[in-house]
Amino acid sequence: MVRKMKKMKKINMKQTKHNIKMAETKRKSGRKADEMRPISAKVGIIPNANGSAMFQSGKTIAIAAVYGPKEHHPRSQRNPSRGTLRCTYNMLSFSVTDRIRPGSNRRSTEISKIIGWALEPVLMLDKYPGKVIDVCINMIQADAGTRCAGINAAAMALAHAGIPMKNMVSSIAAGKLDKTIVLDLDKYEDSEFEGGEGSTDIPITFTNDGKLTHIQVDGHITVEQLKEAMKMTREASKKIYEVQKQALKDSVGGGEK
């Protein structure tokens, strides 16, 4: 009897191992379904700015600088009752494999606005009537997940600039490859993966107490699957928050501003 049990356990073990292996082989990078790319962060990289930060996720590198709060020009755009957050997302021409023309385009204009929406809920803009805070986000190297990396860098830069924040925000994408929910799509998974139901990209931003400030979905997904993806990203956002917090702490201890 005992021997039989042991045998069954062995088979079970084998099966689970096999299952994990299946899940692993589904991702070209060899990552597990809920494994994000290695991340790192640095605060205080641009001496001219009031606040600045770098966030790297795998091969994606974003840098952000904050200027302000300062006088809002032109006057006609000034909001007398509260401050304005002005985000600009820009990709360097050589950050992608096929060179993009320098300057803004329709995609970057939309992402700029979305990043602003993701950050604004944690800022106290009513404290700065008539003022503007400029957040400049630039992608040095892009390998999918650029808006998430940009939001993470921008949030750290805002904190570094000493702008009062109710909370930190951390951003990460979930995805769906065929029928499997995975975390943090890379370039291949985002744009080249084909097979079954194809790939779905779901960038999400959380405050560190779990409120949602930004979500987008591109692909197709059921409600149940989306809920699973939300859980997965919520866990990952906590890890990102720890990295952001550590980077901010490191910038205080004798580091140059």
Partner 1 sequence: MIKTPSITKERIQEYLEQGKRFDGRKLDEFRDLSIETGVSKNAEGSARVKIGKTEVLVGVKMNIGTPYNDSPNKGNLMVTAELLPLSSPRFEYGPPKFPAIELARVIDRGIRECKFIDFDKLCIKEGEKVWTVFVDIYSINDDGNLLDAAGIGAIAALKDAKIPKYDEKEGGVLFGELTDESLAVKKDFPISITFHKIGKNIIIDPTREEEDVSETRVTIGSSKGIISSMQKGNSEALDIEEFNKILDMLEKTWNNIFKKIEEGYKIKQQEKNN
* 225 contacts 97 by C-beta, under 8 angstroms: no
Shortest distance in whole angstroms from residue 140 CB to partner 1? 5
**Nearest CB to partner 1, comparing residues 137 and 202:** 137
Residue 111: CB atoms within 10 Å: 22
CA 48, CA 27: separation in Å to the nearest integer? 41
**Nearest CB to partner 1, comparing residues 92 and 226:** 92
**Nearest CB to partner 1, comparing residues 143 and 201:** 143
Q: What is the dihedral of CA 214, 58, 195, 15, to 10 degrees?
A: -100
* Residue ranges in contact with partner 1 by CB under 8 A: 46-49, 59, 61, 63-65, 67, 70, 88, 90, 92-99, 102-104, 134, 136-138, 140-143
Shortest distance in whole angstroms from residue 223 CB to partner 1? 36
Q: In which residue are the tokens 């605060």 written?
A: 43
**Nearest CB to partner 1, comparing residues 98 and 224:** 98
CA 195, CA 185: separation in Å to the nearest integer? 15
Give me the amino acid identity at 231.
K
**Nearest CB to partner 1, comparing residues 161 and 236:** 161
Shortest distance in whole angstroms from residue 202 CB to partner 1? 24
Helices (H), 168-222: 187
Shortest distance in whole angstroms from residue 96 CB to partner 1? 5
Residue 42: CB atoms within 10 Å: 17
Shortest distance in whole angstroms from residue 249 CB to partner 1? 22
